[in-house]
Chain A
Amino acid sequence: MAEEKVVNAVITTQEERQQIEESKERERKFRTAPRLNKSPLHGLWALTNRDLIKWYKNPVQLLISLIQPVIWLGIFGKALNFGSFISSQPGITSAQITQDYLRIFGTTSYFSFLSTGMLAFIILFTSAFAGMSVVWDKRFGFMNKALSTPVGRSSIVTGKVLQSVIRSLIQAAIVLVIAVALGMDTSHLGVLSIAGSFTILFLMSFGLSSLFVMLALRSSDWQTQMAIINLLNLPLIFASNAMLPVRIMPGWLQTVVKLNPVSYANDATRQLLLGSTVKLAPLWMDFGILVAFAVLLSSLGIVLSWRLLTK
Chain B
Amino acid sequence: MVEKVEAPVIVKVEGLSKTFGNLKAVDGISFEVKTGEIFGFLGPNGAGKTTTINMLTTLLRPSGGSAEICGLDILKHPNEVRRSVGVVPQEYTADEDLTGIQNIILCGDLYGIPRSESKPHAIELLRLVGLEEAANRKVSTYSGGMRRRLELASGLINYPKLLFLDEPTLGLDVQTRTAVWDYIRMLKEEYHMTLFLTTHYLEEADSLCDRIAIIDHGHIVKIGTPAELKASIGGDVIVVGVVEKEPDISAKIAELKLVKDVKKSDNQYRVKAENGEEASIQLIDMIRSSGLHVTKISLTKPTLDEVYLEYTGRNLRDEETDRMSMMSQRITMMRARR
Contact = CB atoms under 8 A, between A and B. Distances in A.
B329 to A, nearest CB: 11
A221 B326 CA distance: 13
Given A27-B192, A140-B93, A149-B82, A310 B110 contact: no
Interface string B304-338: 00000000000000000000100110011000000
A64 interface: no
A311 B191 contact: no
B89 A139 contact: no
A139 B328 contact: yes
Count chain B CB atoms within 10 A of each CB in A27, A36, A141 and give the residue with the most. Answer: A141
Given A220-B324, A310-B61, A144 B91 contact: yes
Given A27-B190, A30-B193, A147 B331 contact: no
Given A27-B190, A54-B98, A142-B93, A148 B112 contact: no
Interface string B137-162: 00000000000000000100011110
A150 interface: yes
A58 B98 CA distance: 12
B324 A29 contact: no
Contacts, number: 119
Contacts of A26: 190-191
B110 A47 contact: yes
Given A23-B190, A37-B113, A144-B89, A54 B107 contact: no
Interface string B182-212: 0000000011110000000000000000000
B93 A34 contact: no
Given A140-B331, A145-B93, A37 B114 contact: yes
A161 to B, nearest CB: 17
Contact of B112 (A42, A147, A220): A42
A38 interface: yes
Contact of A43 (B89, B96, B110, B327): B110
A53 interface: yes
Contacts of B111: 36, 149-151
Contacts of B96: 140
Contacts of B192: 27, 30
Interface residues of B, number: 45
B334 to A, nearest CB: 12
Nearest to A145: B93
B191 A141 contact: no
A34 B159 contact: yes
B115 to A, nearest CB: 9
Contacts of B98: 50, 53-54
A150 B92 contact: no
A92 interface: no
A148 B59 contact: yes
A148 B91 contact: no
A146 interface: yes
A5 interface: no
A310 B190 contact: no
Given A26-B190, A30-B193, A149 B91 contact: no
B244 to A, nearest CB: 58
A46 interface: yes
Interface in B86-125: 87, 89, 91-98, 102, 106-107, 109-114, 117, 121
Contact of A58 (B58, B97, B159, B331): B97
Contacts of A23: 190
Contacts of A45: 109
Contacts of B59: 144, 147-148, 310-311
Interface in A17-52: 23, 26-27, 29-39, 42-43, 45-47, 50
Interface in A130-188: 139-142, 144-151
B89 A145 contact: yes
Given A30-B159, A147-B59, A35 B114 contact: yes
Given A34-B159, A139-B331, A145 B58 contact: no
Interface in A235-252: none
A142 B92 CA distance: 8
B60 interface: yes
A36 B121 CA distance: 14
Nearest to A143: B93
Nearest to B91: A141
Contacts of B121: 34
B120 to A, nearest CB: 11
B58 A148 contact: yes
B113 A36 contact: yes
B270 to A, nearest CB: 48
Interface in A274-311: 310-311
A39 B111 CA distance: 11
A142 B98 CA distance: 12
21 contacts: A30-B160, A31-B159, A34-B159, A35-B113, A35-B117, A43-B109, A46-B110, A53-B102, A54-B97, A141-B89, A144-B59, A144-B89, A144-B91, A145-B93, A145-B107, A146-B110, A149-B111, A150-B110, A150-B112, A151-B111, A310-B59
Interface of B: 57-61, 79-80, 82-84, 87, 89, 91-98, 102, 106-107, 109-114, 117, 121, 154, 158-161, 190-193, 324, 327-328, 331-332
Given A29-B159, A37-B112, A139-B327, 15 more contacts: A26-B190, A32-B159, A33-B83, A35-B113, A35-B114, A35-B117, A42-B112, A43-B109, A43-B112, A50-B95, A53-B102, A58-B97, A140-B92, A141-B328, A142-B93
